[in-house]
Amino acid sequence: MNKASARNMFIGATVIVSAIFLYMTVLSIKAMPARANTPQLTEEVAWGKKVWEKHACIDCHTLMGEGAYYAPELVNVIERRGEAYVRVVLETAAIQGWGTTRKMPQFDLSKKDIDSLVEFFKWMGKIETSNWPPNIEG
């Protein structure tokens, strides 16, 4: 093989795999309403996501297995702990932080923020994640 044919193979391969990849992306987006319950994505859920981002929760926790590994998985936290417990955590965090060993810092969370985060977690919990995590502990 010489340089020119190596280059042509690079171009050819790139074009083909990109086309396949884009097609699969279209399929993935089409599947989203069903797998991610887009119709149930209310304004509250959207606000919850903004609060999640505002405090960079992802830089301690994982969400669907992505993020940092310093604190528990939260995609199924409502199922694992129950809504009441999650509310206690967030309400306490709004005042003084949470936790005994590794601690969650104090965050300025309004009542609306907390309600929205709970709705956000509930919505996240319904995403079709192909049976992940393997068990309730996340």
* Residue 66 engages ligand HEM in binding (rule: CB under 6 A): yes
Q: Cα–Cα distance between 103 and 93 in angstroms, integer?
A: 10
Smallest distance, ligand HEM to C-beta of residue 130, A: 13
Q: Identify the residue among 9, 34, 68, 136 touching ligand HEM (CB under 6 A).
A: 68
Residue 49 phi, psi dihedral angles, 5° rounding: -65, -35
* 91 vs 128, beta carbon nearer ligand HEM: 128
Q: Cα–Cα distance between 61 and 126 in angstroms, integer?
A: 19
* Residue 19 engages ligand HEM in binding (rule: CB under 6 A): no
* Residue 27 engages another protein in binding (rule: CB under 8 A): yes
Q: How many CB atoms lie under 10 A from the CB of residue 129?
A: 15
Cβ burial of 120 (10 Å; 0-12, 13-18, 19+) is: buried
* Assigned token pair, 83: 């809504």
76-115 positions binding ligand HEM, by CB under 6 A: none
For the chain, how far is it from start to end, CA to CA, in angstroms? 50
* 47 vs 72, beta carbon nearer ligand HEM: 72
- Site for another protein, rule CB under 8 A: 1-3, 6-7, 9-10, 13-14, 17-18, 20-21, 24-25, 27-29, 31-32, 35-36, 38, 41, 45-46, 49, 52-60, 62-73, 97, 101-103, 105-106, 124, 127-130, 132-138
